Amino acid sequence: MQHIAVSNGMLNVYAQGKGTPLLFVHGFPLTHAMWQPQIDAFNKKYRVIVPDLRGFGESTVTNGTVSMEEMSDDLHGILHGVWVDKPVVFCGLSMGGYIAWQFFRKYRGQLRALILCDTRAAPDTPAAAAGRQTLAATVLAQGSQAASDFVLPKLMSAKTTERWPDLVANVQSMVLRNKPAGIAAALRGMAERPDCTELLPQIDVPTLLICGQDDQVTPPAEMQQMADAIPHAQFVQIPNAGHLSPLENPDAVNGAIERFLISLNAPSA
């Protein structure tokens, strides 16, 4: 891991390998470690770049609100910091997908393709946004355990929870390692994120959408609709997985990513 200076802070980043750059952007309230199965699968053939977003893991925590646009600016800074000058395949999960819309809007020239896992383009409803503000205040008052208690039951499918207790424990410890201020800032940033549905027909890079079959947070039907709105997008449903499909069924997700990369003729090492 290395620390890369960006505006207002230092971000912790894994960057290894050669070939087409693949940028993996984690969901809330996790860290770069959620992509371990993808790091292991792709770092021999591609240049794999996996940051801890601002406020998470070992990266700088910024108090207040961190918007999805600011997160996309951080990613732009990271790519510069690790000397990536070729367009990247941007793979984001959930909050990572919210950031992907902003990256597309601001840094289209740096994008080779998009992979959107378990995410949505619609903004929060007023009730959901208010719920995030309440959770942010609770996390600041009570600690990261409050975030874990709230999100953990929704992140993985019932089958995963029953079959893979070690995986559930690993995800929980990822959440608990994050500082309350970082979690709260991202919650506020997600609460005020813009509606990106009007962006979908404008997406002019190859796009793959991936969704766990049992995802209750961003269900497959909603992701299918997004795929229908994006020109030439592909949609893959992942069996035996909920919202954290890349961790719950890595073989299926890695297979879908590999086939997509081959279809792009993306040069490998």
Residues at the interface with ligand MLT (CB under 6 A): 27-28, 94-95, 190, 217, 243
Identity (one letter) of the amino acid at 59? S
Tell me 203's DSSP state.
-
Residue 27 or residue 81: which is nearer to ligand MLT going by CB? 27
CB closer to ligand MLT out of 128 and 169: 128
Q: What distance in Å separates the CA atoms of residue 5 and residue 11, rounded to the nearest whole number?
A: 6
| Residue tagged 């960006």 (tokens) | 6
Residue 29's nearest CA partner among 167, 141, 177, 201 is: 177
Residue 16 has φ and ψ, to the nearest 5°, of: -145, 155
Rounded CA-CA distance 100/114 in Å is: 8
Which residues have a Cβ under 8 Å from the Cβ of 36 and sit 6 or more positions away? 247
CB of 155 to ligand MLT, least distance (A): 7
Strand partners, 9: 6
Measured in degrees and rounded to the nearest 5, phi and psi for residue 253 equal -70, -45
State the nearest-atom distance from the C-beta of 67 to ligand MLT, in Å.
14
Give the Cα separation of 145 and 27 in Å (integer).
17
94 or 178: CB nearest ligand MLT:
94
For the CB of residue 124, give the shortest distance to ligand MLT in the complex, in Å.
Answer: 8
- Shortest reach from residue 118's CB to ligand MLT, in Å: 7
Nearer to ligand MLT, 153 or 201 (CB): 153
CB of 101 to ligand MLT, least distance (A): 13
- 89 or 95, CB closer to ligand MLT? 95
| CA 201/CA 228 separation, integer angstroms | 9
Rounded least distance, CB 167 to ligand MLT, Å: 15
Alpha carbons 126 and 132: distance in angstroms, whole number: 10
Cβ nearer to ligand MLT, comparing 20 with 218: 218
